[in-house]
Amino acid sequence: MSTYETILQRRTIRKFKQAAIPDQILEKFVNAARVSPSAGNLQPLEYVVVRNVELLEAVFKHLKWAAYTAPEGTPKENEKPAAYIIILANNSIGSTNVPYDLGAAAMSILLTAWEDGMGGCWIRACDKKGLKKLLGVSEAFDVDSVIALGYRDEAPVMEENDTDVKYYKDKKGVLHVPKKSTRTVTHWDQF
């Protein structure tokens, strides 16, 4: 599968099979994030990988899931993630470009997971102070994002929709994700 095909197929996953992800695969995801573009090559990001069963549950309690489909969008007991990668930003580096680095790193993790038959959910709606304390994160770092990961147990579908951005579940429980059409968001030569 090409990178472009992976990008087109990848959707956010919130239902996971209950199977552990090998450490070497999780390390591969962090490595993909580590080598992602970094403004000025300052590399302000670090990562906490969580796969311990008790800690997985503790992290889960600090997360907010799928506002448009709540509470149905929150993973049930037998659908929860098998791992998390928490993305940290080093405050001492002081780059104003950290949000861009974060976006590139998160997408690298998500695309690599998809190619490996897994899925993920990039979560910024979380109790960052609580996670920082739970994980013993140094004061020099901020918790920015959580990437929930696991083997996919749902198959969301994308549909073109230029007027509505709200994702929804149909009567069969399939998640539909609207995306604006290419013709709507593309301007050739000038706006």
CB atoms within 10 A of CB 82: 19
Superfamily of domain 157-191: putative fmn-dependent nitroreductase like domains (2.20.180.10)
* Backbone phi, psi, residue 73, to 5°: -75, -10
DSSP H helices in the chain: 3-9, 23-34, 53-60, 98-115, 128-135, 182-185
Residues of the chain with CATH 2.20.180.10: 157-191
Per-residue pLDDT tens, the chain, 191 aa: give them.
899 999 999 999 999 999 999 999 999 999 999 999 999 999 999 999 999 999 999 999 999 998 888 888 899 999 999 999 999 999 999 788 999 999 999 999 999 999 999 999 999 999 999 999 999 999 999 999 999 999 999 999 999 999 999 999 999 989 999 999 999 999 999 99
- SS3 assignment, position 99: helix
Question: CATH topology for 3-155?
Answer: NADH Oxidase (3.40.109)
End-to-end CA distance of the chain: give it in Å, rounded.
34
* C-alpha distance from residue 26 to each of 30, 33, 71, 83, 113 (Å): 6, 11, 28, 8, 9
Residues of the chain with CATH 3.40.109.10: 3-155
- SS3 assignment, position 185: helix
Q: How far apart are CA 13 and CA 21, in angstroms?
A: 15
* C-alpha distance from residue 88 to each of 62, 134, 154 (Å): 16, 14, 28
